[in-house]
Structure 1
Amino acid sequence: MISSEYEARELVLNLCGSDSIARFELVADRLRQENTRQNLVSAASLDSVWQRHIADSVQLLRHVPRETAMDLWLDLGTGAGFPGLAIAIARPDWNVCLVESRKRRVEWLGAMIAELDLRQCRIEGKRLELVDPVPASVISARAFAPLPKLLDLSRRFSTDDTLWLLPKGRSAGHEVSELPRQLRRMFHVEPSLTDPESGIVIGRAKEAKPV
């Protein structure tokens, strides 16, 4: 379990390599600046940005099997860029799509993508319902919607092979338990490395039927 900014940086270094550290430092600096203009993240979390946001995002890489064909990582409700922007920094050769409808956040994400030269990362600056369906290798979302609604909204992007990685905080186990049986058996909860009381919902929702 990660309990300090130092340990969070070490996790990022181990999962993403030394080349990513300077980029994440830039993101942390820009995040602090932008947070004075718009509420991207809670102000209190900026004192532990590596643990609360960066490491919390890149820990998802631990759950992606090596044999996964990464055609597209789709991040829903990206907000300040977590986890989607962090994944794009960690794996700049992967195609990453950030879905975010709020204009000011889209503008900030676009500026960060340009400054970091993340050529494989793009933004869909609209509501998820308006995004053209495309099959995703991985679908991630943090604080986007309750699990049943999330699955219902996102089933257009899911195939039998799509891996769902959903940081759900302290509600993870409860949200899985509330799913209909045929969906419940497709998901499980793994503990988060950055919060002992939080979990990550992981699974492959076979065609993600409406719930």
Structure 2
Amino acid sequence: MKPLPSPLDPWPGTESHPDPRWQALYTAILRGNEQMNLTRITTPADFWEKHLWDSAQGIRPYLGNNEPWRVIDVGTGAGFPGLVVGILHPHWQVTLLDARQKKIRFSAQVIADLRLDNVTTLTGRAEVLGLTAPHHQNYDLVLLRAVAPAPEALSYGTPFLKPGGHLVLYQGHWTPAQTEALNPQKYRLKLTQMDAQTTPLTEGVRHYLHFLGNFPATADS
């Protein structure tokens, strides 16, 4: 098959010279799966749609932003969406956070192999690190994908967020009743946008909830 295309391009891709890092990332995940349980999604098309495409959809509203944002992927697991974000936005500083050392060691090796100088790793529990310097209220963009049920995920991610910063919650099925029950004001967040996107290959639906940090800075931020 052809090398994997960018998640911003159509499948199966028409570029004469696609960025080789997408294929290299896929190969690294397959290799990592031999040592640990990273993902059950291993066919090229499924990997592209469910990991690459999905990761990119969450940051579509910010793709034109050329500011040197600090970004944190909370509960990164196998490195998604953070690795995809780091490739798409080389001028952003992206941190991959996870409590599981084995997965962080894997991500660190991928970062080195792909020479992603703008991506770093961090090992620890979000509920602890988010409340302490230098991480408390220190990120322009917080990403939460497959971390925990939505209310719990917001409680993990919000402490990392700068006042006026952006937080993206990646979700599958989502209803207006869930939006109402989520009560973002409880987390000092304002829901500014909710995108519902149909997946290009399997025609499922993914939701991307965008929040704004609606709170003042604290003394240690």
Relative to the length of structure 1, the TM-score reads: 0.81
| Structure in which a larger fraction of residues adopt strand | 2
After the TM superposition, which of the residue ranges 75-84 and 18-27 deviates more from structure 2? Answer: 18-27
The CA deviation at 1:30 is 1.1
Q: Give the number of equivalent residue pairs.
A: 201
Q: Is 2:167–2:212's contact at 8 Å kept on the other side of the alignment?
A: yes
**What is the distance in 2 between the residues matched to 1:181 and 1:140?**
16
The equivalent of 1:52 in structure 2 is 50
Q: How does 1:180-191 map to 2 (within 5 A)?
A: 180=183, 182=185, 186-191=191-196
The CA deviation at 1:19 is 7.8
The equivalent of 1:12 in structure 2 is 8
After the TM superposition, which of the residue ranges 181-190 and 121-130 deviates more from structure 2? Answer: 181-190
The equivalent of 2:92 in structure 1 is 94
The ranges of structure 1 where at least 4 consecutive aligned residues each deviate by more than 4 angstroms after the TM superposition are 17-20, 43-47
Q: Is 2:136–2:161's contact at 8 Å kept on the other side of the alignment?
A: no
Relative to the length of structure 2, the TM-score reads: 0.78
Q: 1:81 to 1:172 in 2, by over 3 A?
A: farther
The CA deviation at 1:149 is 1.8
**What is the distance in 2 between the residues matched to 1:91 and 1:44?**
25
AA partner of residue 207 (structure 2): G
The two structures, once aligned, show a CA RMSD in angstroms of 3.0
Q: 1:156 to 1:73 in 2, by over 3 A?
A: same
Unaligned runs of 5+ in 2: 130-134, 217-221
Q: How does 1:56-135 map to 2 (within 5 A)?
A: 56-64=54-62, 66-67=64-65, 69-131=67-129, 132-135=135-138
**SS of residue paired to 1:118:** coil
| Structure in which a larger fraction of residues adopt helix | 1
The equivalent of 1:201 in structure 2 is 209
Higher RCO, Cα 8 Å, sep 6+: 1
**What is the distance in 2 between the residues matched to 1:173 and 1:21?**
38
Greater Rg, structure 1 or structure 2?
Answer: 2
Q: 1:196 to 1:52 in 2, by over 3 A?
A: same
The CA deviation at 1:101 is 1.0
Q: 1:150 to 1:10 in 2, by over 3 A?
A: closer
**SS of residue paired to 2:136:** coil
The equivalent of 1:177 in structure 2 is 180
Q: Percent identity?
A: 22
**What is the distance in 1 between the residues matched to 2:5 and 2:60?**
15
Unaligned runs of 5+ in 1: none
Q: Deviations over 1:176-208 (max 9, x none)?
A: 221227368624421134253221111213139
